Amino acid sequence: MTAPILAARGLGKRYGRVVALHDADFELMPGEILAVIGDNGAGKSTLIKCLTGAVIPDEGAIILDGARVHFRSPLDARAAGIETVYQHLALCPALPIVDNLFLGRERRRPGVLGRVFRALDRGAMEREARAHLNALGLLTIQNIRQSVETLSGGQRQGIAVVRATAFGSRVVIMDEPTAALGVKESRRVLELLLDVKRRGLPIVLISHNMPHVFEVADRIHIHRLGRRIAVIDPKRHTMSDAVAIMTGAMPPPA
Amino acid sequence: MSLPAEVPLPRAGEGTEPGETAESASTARSLPQLLHDNPTVVPFIVLLLAVGLFSAIVGARFFHPFNLSLVLQQVTIIAVVGTAQTLIILTAGIDLSVGAIMVLSSVVMGRLAVLDGVPVEFAFLAGMLVGGACGLLNGVLVALLRLPPFIVTLGTWSIFGALNLWYSRSETIRQQEVEAAAPFLQWLGTALRFWGARLTYGSLLMLALAALVWYVLQRTAFGRHVHATGNDPDAARLAGISVARVLIAVYAIAGVICSVAGWTLIGRIGAISAISGGTANLDSITAVVIGGTSLFGGRGSIVGTLIGALIVGVFRNGLALAGANALWQEFAIGVLIILAVAIDQWIRKVAA
């Protein structure tokens, strides 16, 4: 069996007297889409925040590619190659697509222009942006200089996904990527997820939408009462099984 | 901003809904959409209309090179302070202390060089440092203590104003004294004369400064971070931008630009007084707003601010030449401000 690309062992986190995570494990295998589901308050968002550096666990270990990591902020996680697509997208609506893609990692012109005058290499950034959009089949966007707010919800989600996958990342975490979208747009985003997977990047998908989860996930991590209660194969279980395990109506499979 | 070049990309064969592509297609762009993408178009049209209006009313006098250069001189200080204000408003902030910083640094330069006999270059440097320090204080209070910019700068406006009265002892340094002891401080008042026009070095410096700030905002990563910080600070933070550092830098740079405005002010009036330049605060905000920069941050440009300052200058000058009472200048500026903000709201609502 291959080693997980991202794993957590015995994570614990409490807020005062509330136990959000207790002895929680997590494993993401290379190249897979792992869905994380759980009822509200089950601790799944705390688990994800530990993996993305937004929350520092009280106990337990996070292991990336076999090495233990200690994230103190989302930037640490990002530097280590864990990119997150947030539910609220985290794009700047007034800025052009290309500026959003390169925000915080702009390219400068070579030579004196870049070193002394700090000039941005707009040409290179636009070429690269177009290549990344093409690679994920987001070709319908006419003009990468148009501002993000002129795009539809699905197109914006696409830009966020492209940004997460374009910059040498090792793991992509997507928090409810289809929650705010219509049927057609959700479809496009799910296809995008499968595209990203085909390119070899493993994805953690957090979603409440069971049909979406069952459509794209290779394995489903079910979180209940602060810990991982089961990992199921969507081909061998039904949606109602998953919901029953999640809510405690059915004992988890051995 | 220039018109975005249309770059049609090949369409994906499958999963393309015609309705979705038409939505963002250039052919289907509406007027508000166009204005949204080119926010300086409206102020530019207003400027042209104002020039047309006053040349119709006042006639050839308005277009005389002397008068045009006079308008430029009158708007120079507002435009310099407006450049500082644009940087701050782009971060969704506001700076009510810009006028006070400007006057305080001009007084520091003047007293050190003229009354204390400090070499003029050191006095000049001290003035710049005082401006930068004032801006830095604003920035630290806004970024680290997370106080609202309006409240912070309302407070520092009073503080810098009081320090100014204390340090200047409410004395005016007369033009002749400055000329005798530190002519360098008046250098920006020097004018190039041609065809009856008086083009001051101050106006040229203003244009150079605006070009520099435009370059920084549009062509450097820092400039993009300023826009991002104002547009959506959470998104900027998640993209790895240190929002606090951007804010502190913006307020400090704005402080230094206000000191430059203080230097320009000495060139314009010759004398140095603690009570000069009192309207610079609100005038700068007026220029920025009329220039199409959004008070909600992230949208706007230096070019807009220059045009906004020119609109204010043309209205004041034109109404004065037409013999209207000065109160109608204020009236017209007030109408312009409200119109500018209303247009900004309309564009953003319809284009969104």
* pLDDT tens figures, B215-246: 999 999 999 999 999 999 988 988 888 999 99
CB–CB of A143 and B26 under 8 A?
yes
Q: Is 80 exceeded by the pLDDT of residue B48?
A: yes
Q: What is the pLDDT of residue B23?
A: 39
pLDDT digits (tens, 9 = 90+) for B247-257: 999 999 999 99
Q: Are A192 and A161 in contact (CB under 8 A)?
A: yes
Q: Is 50 exceeded by the pLDDT of residue A18?
A: yes
CB–CB of B232 and A92 under 8 A?
yes
Q: Is 60 exceeded by the pLDDT of residue B21?
A: no
Min mean pLDDT across A30-39, A61-70, B33-42, B329-338 is at: B33-42
pLDDT digits (tens, 9 = 90+) for B72-83: 988 999 999 999
Average pLDDT, chain B: 85
Q: Average pLDDT, stretch A14-23?
A: 89
> Is A29 part of a structural domain of the chain?
yes
Q: What is the pLDDT of residue B226?
A: 96
User: Which residue, among A71, A72, A125, A142, would best test binding to B if mutated, counting the most B CBs under 10 Å from its CB?
Assistant: A142
C-alpha span between B350 and A58 (Å, rounded): 48
Q: Is 90 exceeded by the pLDDT of residue B144?
A: yes
Q: Is 70 exceeded by the pLDDT of residue A85?
A: yes
The candidate with the shortest Cα–Cα distance to B280, out of B160, B100, B83, B74, is B100
Task: Find the residue in B nearest to A187 (Cα).
Answer: B15
Tell me the shortest Cα–Cα distance from B33 to chain A, in angstroms: 9
Q: Is 80 exceeded by the pLDDT of residue A115?
A: no
Q: Is 80 exceeded by the pLDDT of residue A55?
A: yes
DSSP state of A147: B
B201: three-class secondary structure by DSSP? helix
How much is the CA Rg of chain A, to the nearest whole Å?
19
Which residues, including other chains, have CB under 8 Å from residue A203's CB and lie 6 or more apart? A32, A33, A34, A171, A172, A173, A174, A193, A196, A197
Q: Is 50 exceeded by the pLDDT of residue A213?
A: yes
The candidate with the shortest Cα–Cα distance to A9, out of A22, A25, A20, is A25
Q: Is 90 exceeded by the pLDDT of residue B167?
A: yes
Two tokens, residue B116: 């204390």
Q: Which residues of B touch A86 (CB under 8 A)?
A: 238
Of A92, A140, A143, the CB nearest to B236: A92
User: Which residue, among B1, B20, B213, would best test binding to A if mutated, counting the most A CBs under 10 Å from its CB?
Assistant: B20
Q: What is the pLDDT of residue B106?
A: 95
Question: What pairing do the DSSP bridges indicate for beta strands A67-69 and A59-64?
Answer: antiparallel
Task: Find the residue in A nearest to B298 (Cα).
Answer: A94
Angle between helices B243-269 and B98-110 (to 10 degrees): 60
Q: Average pLDDT, stretch B193-205?
A: 87
> Is A230 part of a structural domain of the chain?
yes
CB–CB of B236 and A134 under 8 A?
no
Tell me the shortest Cα–Cα distance from B146 to chain A, in angstroms: 20
C-alpha span between B312 and A162 (Å, rounded): 45
Q: Are A27 and A7 in contact (CB under 8 A)?
A: yes
Contacts across the A-B interface (CB distance below 8 Å): 123
Q: What is the pLDDT of residue A188?
A: 83
Q: Average pLDDT, stretch A210-228?
A: 92
Q: Which residues of A touch B17 (CB under 8 A)?
A: 184
> Is A252 part of a structural domain of the chain?
no
Q: Which domain holds residue A225?
A: 6-247
Tell me the shortest Cα–Cα distance from A208 to chain B, in angstroms: 24
> Is A107 part of a structural domain of the chain?
yes
pLDDT digits (tens, 9 = 90+) for A158-184: 888 888 888 768 899 998 888 878 888
* Long-range own/partner contacts, residues B238-241 (CB < 8 A, 24 or more apart): B238/A74, B238/A86, B238/A90, B239/A90, B239/A103, B239/A104, B240/A75, B240/A78, B240/A103, B240/A104, B240/A105, B241/A103, B241/A104
Which residues, including other chains, have CB under 8 Å from residue B56's CB and lie 6 or more apart? none
Q: Is 60 exceeded by the pLDDT of residue B28?
A: no
Q: What is the pLDDT of residue B34?
A: 74
Q: What CATH number is given to the structural domain containing A168?
A: 3.40.50.300
Query: DSSP E strands: which ranges in chain A?
Result: 6-15, 18-28, 33-38, 59-64, 67-69, 82-85, 171-175, 203-206, 219-224, 227-232
User: Which residue, among B33, B238, B350, would best test binding to A if mutated, counting the most A CBs under 10 Å from its CB?
Assistant: B238
- Answer whether 0.80 is exceeded by the pTM: yes
Of B23, B33, B37, the CB nearest to A152: B23
Of A99, A142, A187, the CB nearest to B26: A142
Two tokens, residue A78: 């990002």
Two tokens, residue B197: 């026009």
Q: Which residues of A touch B219 (CB under 8 A)?
A: 119-120, 122
| Banded pLDDT at B352 (limits 50, 70, 90) | low
Q: What is the pLDDT of residue A169?
A: 81
- What are the φ and ψ backbone dihedral angles of B211, each rounded to 5 degrees? -65, -40
Query: Where are the alpha helices (H) located in B220-242, listed in sequence order?
Result: 221-231, 233-238
Question: What pairing do the DSSP bridges indicate for beta strands A18-28 and A33-38?
Answer: unpaired
- What are the φ and ψ backbone dihedral angles of B324, each rounded to 5 degrees? -75, 150
- What's the structural domain count of chain A? 1
> Torsion over CA of B49, B51, B54 and B56, rounded to 10 degrees?
-80
C-alpha span between B118 and B126 (Å, rounded): 10
CB–CB of A86 and B219 under 8 A?
no
CB–CB of A150 and B11 under 8 A?
no
CB–CB of A143 and B16 under 8 A?
no
Q: What is the pLDDT of residue B11?
A: 37
CB–CB of B351 and A150 under 8 A?
yes
The candidate with the shortest Cα–Cα distance to B59, out of B323, B348, B349, B346, is B323
Which residues face A210 on adjacent strands? Answer: none
> Is A1 part of a structural domain of the chain?
no
More confident call, B146 vs A73:
B146
- CB within 8 Å of chain B, chain A residues 190-219: 191
Q: Would you say how long chain A is, in residues?
A: 254
User: Alpha carbon of B3 to those of A149, B6, B51: distances in Å?
Assistant: 17, 9, 24
C-alpha span between B4 and A251 (Å, rounded): 59
> Is A254 part of a structural domain of the chain?
no
Q: Which residues of B touch A188 (CB under 8 A)?
A: 15
Instruction: Identify the burial level of A87 via C-beta atoms within 10 angstroms of its C-beta, where 0-12 means exposed, 13-18 middle and 19 or more buried.
Output: middle
Q: Is 50 exceeded by the pLDDT of residue A102?
A: yes
B116 touches chain A (CB under 8 A): no
CATH 2.30.240 is the classification of domain B40-347: no
> Is A130 part of a structural domain of the chain?
yes
SS3 content of chain A, % helix, strand, coil (to 5): 35, 25, 40
Q: Is 60 exceeded by the pLDDT of residue B26?
A: no
The angle formed by the CA atoms of residues B162, B165 and B169, to the nearest 5 degrees, is 145
More confident call, B332 vs B7:
B332
- What is the residue whose two structure tokens read 């052919």? B27
Q: Which residues of A touch B90 (CB under 8 A)?
A: none
Q: Which of A101-110, A175-184, B62-71, B223-232 has the highest mean pLDDT?
A: B223-232
Q: Average pLDDT, stretch B88-103?
A: 95
Q: Average pLDDT, stretch B40-59?
A: 86
C-alpha span between B236 and B227 (Å, rounded): 9
The candidate with the shortest Cα–Cα distance to A75, out of A92, A90, A54, is A54
A73 touches chain B (CB under 8 A): no
> Is A203 part of a structural domain of the chain?
yes
CB–CB of A140 and B21 under 8 A?
yes
| Banded pLDDT at B6 (limits 50, 70, 90) | very low
Q: Is 70 exceeded by the pLDDT of residue A220?
A: yes
Query: B347 in the Ramachandran plot: left (φ > 0), alpha (ψ -120 to 50) or beta?
Result: alpha
Domain ranges of chain B: 40-347
Average pLDDT, chain A: 87
B3 touches chain A (CB under 8 A): no
B30 touches chain A (CB under 8 A): no
Q: What is the pLDDT of residue A140?
A: 63
Two tokens, residue A240: 């109602």
Q: What is the pLDDT of residue B65?
A: 87
Q: Is 50 exceeded by the pLDDT of residue B101?
A: yes
A142 touches chain B (CB under 8 A): yes
User: Which residue, among B9, B35, B218, B229, would best test binding to A if mutated, counting the most A CBs under 10 Å from its CB?
Assistant: B9
User: Alpha carbon of A213 to those of A8, A185, A248, B213, B298: distances in Å?
Assistant: 22, 16, 19, 49, 37
CB–CB of A145 and B222 under 8 A?
no
Tell me the shortest Cα–Cα distance from B205 to chain A, in angstroms: 19
